[in-house]
Amino acid sequence: MANKRNYQKELDDLMADSSNKGKRLLIHACCAPCSSYCLLYLRSFFRVTVFYYNPNITEEAEYRKRVEEEKRLISEYNKLGDGAYEIFYIDGDYEPSKFYEASKGLEKEPEGGKRCEMCFALRLRRTGEVAREGDFDFFTTTLTISPLKNAETLNKIGECMGELVGVRWLPSDFKKKGGYQQSIELSKKYDLYRQDFCGCGFSKAERAMAKEEINR
């Protein structure tokens, strides 16, 4: 049986190679809490640009709220004045119809199933395309920080998209090395809006049902 890959170690090895320092990285961000640790960790080594593209988010008000928090976090980090590279930001289009179109037939999938794989592919493909258009050296996502998301699935999809667009995928498993715990602490420190569902209407309904179950 093939050895399980350690994506965090692959990232560490890549960052131990000084020839990669200062390379341009486009990172897909899902929300400010997940970005908090990833950006802090990457910004001293890479010239990072955040790409906010999440057509999965169910309501526009929720989407805008997450966008504003993402921008606020970036501006807080850019004020730190600790010698790290400035973080830039690119707004993706909000196009929920793309998500609904692609989720047809996958509505009943549980969180972590086939619908999520499609959702990752949708977002990472667009991120890869923007990385190619912007001549970035690497692209990646903050999504691997979530303990609810499979890092292997995300990295495999990312690598496929990287091959498709011709930009190098940056491997990660940001939850490792205490990354997830640090994201909770940073979210508290910066008072970030922390939603209690992943993003789509299906995940919102699933979370509401789970809460109902607990309160029964």
User: Using CB under 6 A as the criterion, which residues of the chain lie in contact with ligand SF4 when the complex forms?
Assistant: 56, 111, 115-116, 119, 198-200, 202-203
How far is it, in rounded angstroms, from Cα 118 to Cα 175? 22
Q: Which is nearer to ligand SF4, 39 or 198 (CB)?
A: 198
Of the pair 84, 198, the CB lying nearest ligand SF4 is at: 198
Helix or strand (DSSP H, E) at 52: strand 47-52
Based on CB atoms, which residue is closest to ligand SF4, 40 or 198? 198
Q: Which is nearer to ligand SF4, 87 or 161 (CB)?
A: 161
* Least separation in angstroms between CB 215 and ligand SF4: 22
CB atoms within 10 A of CB 112: 13
- Closer of 101 and 185 to ligand SF4 (Cβ): 101
Which pairing describes strands 88-91 and 138-141: parallel, antiparallel, or unpaired? unpaired
Helix axes 151-165, 114-133, angle to 10 degrees: 40
Q: Which is nearer to ligand SF4, 40 or 143 (CB)?
A: 143
Minimum distance from CB of 107 to ligand SF4 (Å)? 10
Size of the chain in residues? 216
**Consecutive H or E run containing 38:** helix 32-42
In whole angstroms, the minimum distance from the beta carbon of 156 to ligand SF4 comes to 15
Question: Minimum CB separation from ligand SF4 for residue 115, in Å?
Answer: 4
DSSP states of 63-120: HHHHHHHHHHHHHHHHTS-SSPPPPEEEEPP--HHHHHHHTTT-TTPPTTSHHHHHHH
Closest distance to ligand SF4 from the beta carbon of 60 (Å) = 15
CA 118 to chain centre: 15
Q: How far is the CB of 193 from ligand SF4 (least distance, A)?
A: 17
In angstroms, the CA 161 to CA 170 distance is 11
Residue 106, CB-side half-sphere exposure with 13 Å CA sphere: 18
For the record, the structure tokens of 151 come out as: 């890092």
